Chain A
């Protein structure tokens, strides 16, 4: 065996294992099942967010804005803008099965695309806020936060799971 091979082969195997471990870590995070109550999660998120420009939406509003059927999930919480001039929005979905992650993610992406189109060239601050919005899929929970401090909302969300 050449000297280079003596070093390179175990190194390549170690790199493969390192990538595998990173991937497993990612899967663990995205597949984590939280027993937290959606009300607790919602309370944690709203307590760090300026809610003055949002009001709570019911199931029909979730369906109207996101095209999601709330009955399919373990729970949904929606806060949507009180006026058409703002884009503040929070959606929390507790999934019944992590296989639903993709459909909820697609619905959030579609809603975000619509809002970006609505505010592009119209409300610079609102558009920027949408640009900095957070979509966090963590196991059986999904958070969409289009707020001024979306990162804080996400941190509070993660902490309660």
Chain B
């Protein structure tokens, strides 16, 4: 990879790429809008890694033809041929993803298990490969399951796969949700304004909160895990919990906002997950598009909860191990997925009668504790280091309950932690709406515009003074 990938929170995107793209899109005639979007999207993707454009082009061409194959076979009532196209295309897509994402993990484990010394060439992970591969698979499955008609127009299909707001970190938009918008969409001033507002809020989440808290987390995570105090371990865990939320939900807001400005409507990807009172509820609110993808294309086709208890448990375990594996090729991610699978099984089958009797506050604290422990395995480079960190959080092997480093990092980040914890609840938005409601008529609109401008200016001030900052989910 040469230059850095373009991000929504970079000055080049805000001051050059985005305004030029918008201008181009609205200047070209209606018929050429999708072609313009493909050009813009390919340029966006090629910015930091032109080499990997070949992979994206492959995904577009290959899946376009595979979709035609499935649809034509179905139309001719050749079910076996349709199934063959679908299976071959799925296998090729998964092999491609596996080659770039899991080859090292697989070979290292084979070497370890069988005492071999197989070698491999470590290649940089193509940005967004997990996201656009899952979207391509959604297209194939939707055509096969007849949830949506085949896309005959190549340019429209290229827009679906490569549309730049969602290509690097989602949301994973399912084909049947986007198919109509590929040909019929509109954007008036109100919708454009909503998109711009969402984009600015997302930018603020990323630049002002996630990047700010990440300074503390980066410093804490660089400390040797076996020497940290209980306080330091908690500070690291709390800051990461907030960083990943504001980073990823900020990106999603920006992506959905941008899409709106180009006339598309995507469903929300986050719904205040940290207010959840159970792990089940949490996963209905966190990375909603990924959860839906696994539900619609893995859990339900496997039988969901329809074929008895044993198969339901099996299906839940499969989905959660795959969810873990989707996030990364390492045992700590698989453990993280399994950890959630176990918690969900516990809530669904063991605690289902007991949970309604527990006070909401207790349930919330328990859920957040589990989520935070989960994040430790997520940010730790290996499974043992994750276990070590969790141990330190509960005083196991910690040299002290609190030390100077822990106190320093807590003091450094306390204000942002409080703001972040508050901002992760609907209360912040409610207060914003309350203040806005107090103003009347044109003053209300002016107040909203001024608030957005304030967030934008503050974010830009931070961006000018900061170095390149990517998004955490780029690596997935």
Contacts and interface: CB of A to CB of B under 8 A. Distances in A.
Partners in one complex: yes
Contacts of A9: 65, 68-69, 72, 85
A12 interface: yes
B76 interface: yes
Interface string A19-37: 1100110011001110000
A98 B92 CA distance: 27
Give the dominant DSSP class at B's interface: helix
Given A13-B62, A13-B69, A139-B121, 10 more contacts: A9-B65, A9-B72, A9-B85, A12-B61, A19-B54, A20-B55, A23-B58, A33-B121, A99-B124, A102-B2
Contacts of A12: 61, 65
A17 B62 contact: yes
9 contacts: A1-B72, A1-B73, A2-B72, A13-B62, A13-B89, A20-B54, A23-B58, A31-B123, A99-B1
Interface in B408-436: none
A71 interface: no
B393 interface: no
B66 interface: yes
**Interface size class for chain A?**
20 to 34
A33 B122 CA distance: 8
A27 B62 contact: no
Given A1-B78, A33-B121, A13 B73 contact: no
Contacts of A23: 54-55, 58
B222 interface: no
Contacts of B55: 20, 23
A16 B54 CA distance: 10
Interface in A84-112: 98-99, 102
B75 interface: yes
Contacts of A28: 121
B96 interface: yes
A27 B49 CA distance: 13
Contact of A16 (B2, B51, B62, B78): B62
Most chain A CB neighbours (cut-off 10 Å) among B51, B66, B121: B121
A121 interface: no
A157 B302 CA distance: 53
A116 B6 CA distance: 35
B297 interface: no
B249 to A, nearest CB: 30
Contacts of A20: 54-55, 58, 62, 96
A9 to B, nearest CB: 4
Most chain B CB neighbours (cut-off 10 Å) among A27, A28, A102: A27
The 9 closest A-B pairs by CB, nearest first: A16-B62, A1-B72, A102-B2, A12-B65, A9-B69, A1-B76, A31-B121, A23-B54, A20-B58
Nearest to A5: B72
A32 B119 CA distance: 10
A9 B73 CA distance: 11
B443 interface: no
B65 A13 contact: yes
Nearest to B76: A1
Contacts of B78: 1
B9 to A, nearest CB: 22
B99 interface: yes
Contacts of A33: 121-122
A16 B58 contact: yes
B121 A17 contact: no
Nearest to B99: A24
B75 A1 contact: yes
Contact of B65 (A2, A16, A19, A27): A16
Nearest to B51: A27
A32 B123 CA distance: 9
Contacts of B66: 13
Contacts of A31: 121-123
A13 B51 CA distance: 21
A43 B123 CA distance: 29
Contacts of B54: 19-20, 23
A125 to B, nearest CB: 35
Nearest to A27: B123
Contacts of B1: 99
A17 B58 CA distance: 8
Contacts of B2: 99, 102
Contacts of B96: 20
A98 B61 CA distance: 29
Given A9-B69, A31-B121, A16 B61 contact: yes
A17 B99 contact: no
Nearest to A11: B65
A11 B55 CA distance: 19
A9 B63 CA distance: 11
Most chain A CB neighbours (cut-off 10 Å) among B2, B65, B85, B96: B65
A5 B68 contact: yes
A10 B78 CA distance: 15
Interface string B43-62: 00000000100110010011
Nearest to B1: A99
A156 B200 CA distance: 56
Contacts of A27: 51, 121, 123
B158 to A, nearest CB: 14
B58 A10 contact: no
